[in-house]
Amino acid sequence: MAITYDMVKSVSASLYEGCLKKIPEDTKEALRKAGEAETNEGAKKILTMMLRSAHAAETTNRHVCSDAGVPVYFVKIGTAARLDGNIKQAISDGFDHLVETINPPILKHVTNPLTNERGYKGKDMPIVSYDLIDGADYVEIVCQPKALGSGRWAALEIFSFPTLEVIEKYVMDCVLKAGSQHCPPVVIGVGIGGTFDLCAKIAKAATLRPFGQKNPEPTLADMEERLLKAVNKTGFGPMGTGGDTTALAVHVAYASGHGFTPVAVCFNCWINRRAGARIYNDGKVERFE
């Protein structure tokens, strides 16, 4: 057997739909825990409403948010995967299929940045990045539709041999600038090092990490802990009501580079859209959040 065009198309469409209608289990759990720990009554109320909204979307087959975002897919191809057909086209066709079939329909968010015209299609859409996994007999697809609310607050700056103090101060500057505009409580992805492009990529990938998975790099595990504490001391709270819950997690990734060190900071809103699947050579599809 092989991994076919039809399988990739179908999985690409269903992952997107899943992102719009169901928030990850670990995120719901984090919101619940945050609600229990909150000391601000308004914030507690908003966190409860978030869980109600998530539940209503999931049980009545509706979108949690009307901003369906733009299609973003991360694809990893196993070197032992057998591919049959145009896999790249299948992802693009999968999104088109979603647009044609999803109920309720989604709004037109794909924007031509030169004219601000909006539609379902556009240059370089969907946004797909590819990587390889040595030896794997599957193709892994992760979908993370990106909406304006949280998408517009991502930032990157390039430093020269920064200390950890400088890096963390920059993260806090970005947090201060975003305020409560990005629909908190957010997940914050931080990338340190690499090059301009790689840094943004690892920051984004860091937001995909499930909650509770400890950073294998002790320096970064410590940094995540103290940054989360620092972000929640700002007091913006859920949707800007004030309170103790501005972020649910801070995930930091690093890559070596030259002494010019980019630091990238990006945000996922409380819905924390992410859904993935591995399609194996034998046709088995394994889903994960």
Can you tell me the distance from the alpha carbon of 29 to that of 7, in angstroms, rounded to the nearest whole number?
31
166 contacts other proteins (rule: CB under 8 A): no
Q: Are 262 and 204 in contact (CB under 8 A)?
A: no
Total number of residues binding other proteins (CB under 8 A)?
59
CA 18 to the chain's CA centroid: 13
Residues 74-113 that bind other proteins (CB under 8 A): 104-108
Q: Where does residue 259 rank: exposed (0-12), middle (13-18), buried (19+ CB within 10 A)?
A: exposed
For 163, 171, 220, 237, the CA distances from 34, given in Å and listed in that order, are 32, 22, 23, 10
CA 15 to the chain's CA centroid: 13
**Smallest separation, CB 56 to other proteins (Å):** 4
Q: Are 80 and 137 in contact (CB under 8 A)?
A: yes
Of 96 and 140, which CB lies nearer to other proteins in the complex structure? 96
Ranges assigned E (strand) in 67-154: 72-78, 83-84, 110-111, 118-119, 127-133, 138-143
Rg of the chain over Cα atoms, rounded to whole angstroms, equals 19
Can you tell me the distance from the alpha carbon of 31 to that of 27, in angstroms, rounded to the nearest whole number?
6
241 contacts other proteins (rule: CB under 8 A): yes
Question: Exactly one of 165, 212, 256, 259 binds other proteins (CB under 8 A); which one?
Answer: 165
Site string for other proteins, 30-69 (x = CB under 8 A): -----------xx--xx--xx-xxx-xx--x-xxxxxx--
Residues 8-27 that bind other proteins (CB under 8 A): none
Question: Exactly one of 127, 235, 283, 288 binds other proteins (CB under 8 A); which one?
Answer: 235
- Taking alpha carbons only, the member of 67, 24, 32, 56 closest to residue 238 is 32
227 contacts other proteins (rule: CB under 8 A): yes
Report residue 264: phi and psi, to 5°.
Answer: -115, 140
Q: Which residues contact 51 (CB under 8 A, 6 or more apart)?
A: 28, 31, 32, 35
271 contacts other proteins (rule: CB under 8 A): yes
Question: Exactly one of 88, 121, 214, 226 binds other proteins (CB under 8 A); which one?
Answer: 226
Question: Exactly one of 269, 275, 277, 279 binds other proteins (CB under 8 A); which one?
Answer: 269
Stretch that binds other proteins, among 124-132, 154-162, 180-188, 196-204 (CB under 8 A): 180-188
Question: Exactly one of 214, 233, 284, 287 binds other proteins (CB under 8 A); which one?
Answer: 233
**Smallest separation, CB 257 to other proteins (Å):** 22
**Smallest separation, CB 167 to other proteins (Å):** 10
**Smallest separation, CB 124 to other proteins (Å):** 20
Question: Exactly one of 125, 133, 136, 148 binds other proteins (CB under 8 A); which one?
Answer: 148
> Rule CB under 8 A: which residues touch other proteins?
41-42, 45-46, 49-50, 52-54, 56-57, 60, 62-67, 104-108, 116, 118-119, 148-149, 152, 164-165, 168-169, 172, 176, 179-181, 183, 219, 222-223, 225-227, 229-230, 233-237, 239-242, 269-271
